Amino acid sequence: MHVPILGSTVEIDETAIAEPPAVVREQVREYARGEREAFDLTVAMPGTMTGEVMAAMTDIPYGETRTYGELAAELDTAPVAVGQACGRNPVPIVVPCHRVVGSDGGLGGYSGGDGVATKRRLLEFEQGTTRLSTES
């Protein structure tokens, strides 16, 4: 499913979420209006490194970031493996891969929307430096 947010469109794999698409869309709209900081959705986490990284990303609080290296240390793997797993996240925004950044403060990559530009806007929004339209 394609979900509009921040002037771009993020693809979310609806088969990875137990709830119907209408519920997912409504929760994304609530997030965009600043009414939701975490998603209340049942996400299927793969039994692989990607699933381990996805689970770790769900623990990153709204408005905060972690580095690829910090997640790698937590999971006893390499930062590049964390980055690759972030790129395979089938449910960006819902599982907040946008909250994972480089150790130098660089944004790295982002598989959703317009790539790094969308990641930057999501981080700025969560940190309160920008406001979104309520018409997402």
Residues 6+ apart with CB under 8 A from 43: 16, 17, 18, 54, 58, 91, 94, 95
The answer to whether residue 136 is domain-embedded is no
Give the model confidence (pLDDT) of 60-110 as tens digits.
999 999 999 999 999 999 999 999 999 999 999 999 999 999 998 889 888
The answer to whether residue 72 is domain-embedded is yes
The answer to whether residue 131 is domain-embedded is no
Domain that holds residue 77: 2-126
The answer to whether residue 82 is domain-embedded is yes
**Global confidence as pTM:** 0.90
Q: What CATH number does the domain containing 103 carry?
A: 1.10.10.10
Give the model confidence (pLDDT) of 32-70 as tens digits.
999 999 999 999 999 999 999 999 999 999 999 999 999
Write down how long the chain is: 136
Residue 69: phi, psi to the nearest 5? -65, -40
Catalytic residue of the set 97, 100, 122, 123: 97
The answer to whether residue 132 is domain-embedded is no
The answer to whether residue 133 is domain-embedded is no
Count of domains for the chain: 1
The answer to whether residue 135 is domain-embedded is no
Q: Using an 8 Å Cβ cutoff, are 93 and 11 in contact?
A: no
Report the greatest alpha carbon distance in the chain.
Answer: 41
Per the annotation, the verdict on 86 as an active-site residue is: no
When mean pLDDT is compared across 10-14, 43-47, 50-54, 111-115, the lowest value belongs to 111-115
The answer to whether residue 54 is domain-embedded is yes
Q: Which two tokens stand for residue 108?
A: 């790295």
Residues 6+ apart with CB under 8 A from 65: 99, 100, 101, 123
